[in-house]
Amino acid sequence: MDFDANIEQLKLAYWHILMTAGPVLAIALAVGLVVGIIQAATSINEATLSFVPKLAIVLLTMALASGFMLTTLSDYFVHVFDMIAGLH
């Protein structure tokens, strides 16, 4: 494979990482931001207060999006293995 094909494969890999991990990270960021704003407004500085809701919502998001993430990663790995099989 030449350099441009390697760069394309890296772009595809990074895109699939973004597609699978992005929604979970975005939800965690949003929940952390909301809880942080609430904590700042009420002057409650409890570490578990920000951790528990974030953990629960991230687990729920992963449970709901697991089918999409599994399908995306499976399609990507089929593509990678087809590319490996095509090398001589």
Owning domain of residue 64: 3-86
Q: Residues 14-46: pLDDT tens digits? A: 999 999 999 999 999 999 999 989 988 988 888
Counting beta carbons within 10 angstroms of the beta carbon of residue 63, is it exposed (0 to 12), middle (13 to 18) or buried (19 or more)?
exposed
Q: Find the mean pLDDT for residues 58-67.
A: 94
The C-alpha atoms of residue 48 and residue 19 are separated, in whole angstroms, by 29
Provide the number of structural domains found in the chain. 1
Check residue 48 and give its pLDDT. 80
The C-alpha atoms of residue 79 and residue 5 are separated, in whole angstroms, by 14
pTM score, two decimals?
0.77
Give the confidence band of 12 by pLDDT, cuts at 50, 70, 90. Answer: very high
Residues 6+ positions from 19 with CB-CB distance below 8 Å: 72
